[in-house]
Amino acid sequence: MINSSSSKQIGQDQPATSEPTPKSQRTKIKMVKSEDSDKRMLNKKLKDVEISIPIVYGNVSFWLGKKASEYQSHKWTVYVRGATNEDIGVVIKRAVFQLHSSFKNPTRVVESPPFELSEAGWGEFEIAITLYFHSDLCDKPLTLYHHLKLYPEDESGPMSSKKPVVVECFDEIAFPEPSEGFLVRVQNHPAVNVPRLHTGFTLPPPVFAVPLEDANRKKRGDTKDHPLSQWFMNFSEADELLQLAAARQQS
């Protein structure tokens, strides 16, 4: 992640935390078995199976140019998205963004995708992003940490109000031993990497799955047509994961 030592900084001293902070490593999340007896079979854990979801988190910031003031110099958006801009709401239930204490209502909760928030300000600081997963997958949240970047790496040059500063990180969240019910629900979803199952194992029909191209969906959760998508980075790791997933499904 870009970190310019000469940029304006606020909120530098952060308390120590035991929450996982995945950076260039895969985050393992223990699964918790549901207590719903009616779905006991679907909550059976699948041994030696691991699913993963590639994500990108970061921010896009624009200098306000002539409209900039001392305390409102930039507008910015911080987000968590699918690495290939697919709808990650199939895995993530909500996201909580913890902003600097100088903001009004610094704890922002986003209950549905796209998981993002937009604000305006002048200073850079660390944002804690806590992800909560659907109950059929995991009841333990995962916290990511992103340093909000407003100023370009080369601060000696002129700033542009048309070209934003973009900082993104790629990571892959891995879920070992998922429940059969969750795997049924996401088995054909493009945001989730589902491995090839062992010979003789057959999943039942996806009875709880929402059709991917449901014309009645009130809101799209993917970010393919997002207003900022032209600035999103492409990650070769995400493309490779998609190719591997496609190969597994065909084999």
Q: Please check whether residue 49 is in contact with residue 178, taking contact to mean a CB–CB distance below 8 angstroms.
A: yes
**CA angle (210 as vertex; 174, 197 as ends), nearest 5:** 40
Q: What is the mean pLDDT of each run of 10 residues along the chain (251 residues)?
A: 41 43 49 48 76 93 93 96 91 97 96 96 97 91 96 79 91 89 84 71 54 46 79 70 54 49
Q: Please check whether residue 44 is in contact with residue 161, taking contact to mean a CB–CB distance below 8 angstroms.
A: no
Among residues 131, 111, 133, 239, the alpha carbon closest in space to that of 186 is found at 133
The yes/no answer on whether domain 55-171 falls in CATH 2.60.40.1970 is yes
How remote is the C-alpha of 148 from its chain's centroid?
A: 15
Burial of 240 (0-12, 13-18, 19+ CB in 10 A): exposed
Quick one: pLDDT at residue 213? Answer: 46
Residue 230 CB neighbours (<10 A):
8
Quick one: pLDDT at residue 39? Answer: 53
Q: Which residues contact 201 (CB under 8 A, 6 or more apart)?
A: none
Residue type, 87: D
Q: Which residues contact 89 (CB under 8 A, 6 or more apart)?
A: 112, 113, 221
Q: Give the span between the Cα atoms of 52 and 241, in whole angstroms.
A: 10
- Strand order from edge to edge, sheet including 74-82: 27-28, 165-176, 50-63, 74-82, 115-121
Q: Give the span between the Cα atoms of 108 and 130, in whole angstroms.
A: 10
Pairing between strand 74-82 and 115-121? antiparallel
Locate the domains of the chain by residue range: 55-171
Q: Please check whether residue 131 is in contact with residue 21, taking contact to mean a CB–CB distance below 8 angstroms.
A: no
Quick one: pLDDT at residue 240? Answer: 61
Q: Give the span between the Cα atoms of 248 and 251, in whole angstroms.
A: 5
Q: Please check whether residue 35 is in contact with residue 141, taking contact to mean a CB–CB distance below 8 angstroms.
A: no
pLDDT in tens, 67-100: 999 899 999 999 999 988 889 999 999 999 999 9
**CA angle (55 as vertex; 90, 225 as ends), nearest 5:** 75
Quick one: pLDDT at residue 75? Answer: 96
Q: Give the span between the Cα atoms of 187 and 203, in whole angstroms.
A: 9
